[in-house]
Amino acid sequence: MSSFGCWGLPTALLTLLCCSGSSEVTFEVYVWPERLAVEAIGSRKVNCSTSCVKPESGGLETFLSKHLVDQQPQWQQYLISNISQDAELICYFSCAGKTLTKSLNISVYQPPKQVTLKLQPTRVALGTSFTIECRVAAVEPLESLTLTLLRGQETLHNQTFVGAAPAPQEAATTFISMAQREGGPLNFSCQAELDLRSRGGDIIRSVSEPQVLQVYEPVQDSQMVIIVTVVSVLLFLFVTSILLCFIISQHQRQRRTGTYGVLAAWRRLPRTFRVQPA
Ligand SMILES: *[C@@H]1O[C@H](CO)[C@@H](O)[C@H](O)[C@H]1NC(C)=O
Ligand SMILES: *[C@@H]1O[C@H](CO)[C@@H](O)[C@H](O)[C@H]1NC(C)=O
Ligand SMILES: *[C@@H]1O[C@H](CO)[C@@H](O)[C@H](O)[C@H]1NC(C)=O
Ligand SMILES: *[C@@H]1O[C@H](CO)[C@@H](O)[C@H](O)[C@H]1NC(C)=O
Ligand SMILES: *[C@@H]1O[C@H](CO)[C@@H](O)[C@H](O)[C@H]1NC(C)=O
């Protein structure tokens, strides 16, 4: 035990000497923030720092425009401006002849501002289909976007754009739905959600103006037949009664004029012939 303790200390010292004496320098380079999501076209402050007590040099590599705001031996703070596209920033420090780097990814985004929803048609018969179309203008990155079509509070359809081109462009989704039996008109809306959490940002949501679908009940075929039949019968009865009235009135007129005709003829007869034979 004692002999082991006796050898333990020199061994530890040897190890320390060996390693610190070699070219192995242990220091770290940090960048803050570690991830950055910036709305185009923005500017942000970035801090490069190191654990090396006396770094020989340090700096920030980027193609974006940078401006050294403040510095101390162990850190440098930069203002990065006119950030209009995704970029990788590299912080570096040299310590005892060795250089270490740390990178920071900047993601540029454009929030969904204009979300428009269109129903086609806006008035449908029960049980027939209609199209819901949602469009978002100039949103990026599309990979972080989810479009959700909602009926009231209920989700009808979700669309993601993973693997889509990163260029800012219009995103759209369409969904064909069936008009179901519901009480009154229905509100439809579209939610655009840009989830920037993996890129150092937040969740940005925007919802379209609600659109109301008018659903009407079509008149059933059997009902239609009944209505047509009833109307036809009524029409027939009406026409028949008018005809009957006409015929009857004609008939009565004839009978009356016939009577007068006989009377007139009687009166026109010479008096001698008027005396009827007994
Ligand atoms: C930069 O980072 C270092 C290390 O975290 C810190 O000590 C320093 O205060 C920071 N500088 C600024 C301007 O925030
Ligand atoms: C940002 O870009 C605009 C136009 O490209 C330019 O006029 C302006 O000077 C730039 N600002 C900085 C800080 O580089
Ligand atoms: C930055 O992005 C590049 C390429 O997309 C990736 O390889 C790298 O791991 C990212 N770095 C960090 C610190 O997220
Ligand atoms: C659709 O996406 C939203 C938001 O990302 C989520 O809350 C919901 O659960 C998703 N619904 C379906 C049916 O995938
Ligand atoms: C639809 O939404 C509008 C506005 O949000 C609201 O005024 C209206 O009451 C809603 N109608 C129904 C049937 O939910």
Nearest-atom number in ligand 3 for the CA of 88 is 1
Q: Decide whether any atom of ligand 3 lies within 6 Å of the 105 Cβ.
A: yes
Task: From 117, 154, 187, 207, give the residue whose CB has the most ligand 5 atoms within 8 Å, as the site to mutate.
Answer: 187
State the distance from the centre of ligand 2 to the C-alpha of 81, rounded, in angstroms. Answer: 8
- pLDDT given for residue 217 in this prediction: 84
Domain 26-109 sits in which CATH superfamily?
A: Immunoglobulins (2.60.40.10)
Q: Give the binding-site residues of ligand 2, using a 6 Å CB cut-off.
A: 65, 81-82
- pLDDT given for residue 269 in this prediction: 62
Domain 115-216, what fold?
Answer: Immunoglobulin-like (2.60.40)
Q: What's the angle, vertex CA 151, arms to CA 147 and CA 155, rounded to 5?
A: 50
Nearest-atom number in ligand 3 for the CA of 104 is 13
Question: Could you tell me whether strands 211-216 and 123-125 are parallel, antiparallel, or unpaired per DSSP bridges?
Answer: parallel
What's this model's pTM, rounded to 2 decimal places? Answer: 0.70
Amino acid letter, residue 134: C
Q: Decide whether any atom of ligand 3 lies within 6 Å of the 103 Cβ.
A: yes
Q: What is the mean pLDDT of each run of 10 residues along the chain (278 residues)?
A: 44 42 76 94 96 96 96 97 95 96 95 95 91 94 94 93 73 92 79 96 96 85 72 80 81 68 58 56
Nearest-atom number in ligand 4 for the CA of 157 is 13
> What does the DSSP 8-state code read for residue 223?
H
Residues 6+ apart with CB under 8 A from 131: 119, 120, 174, 175, 176, 177
Cα–Cα distance measured from residue 189 to residue 205, given in angstroms and rounded to the nearest whole number:
13
Query: Which residues of the chain form CATH 2.60.40.10?
Result: 26-109, 115-216
Nearest CA to ligand 2 atom 2: 82
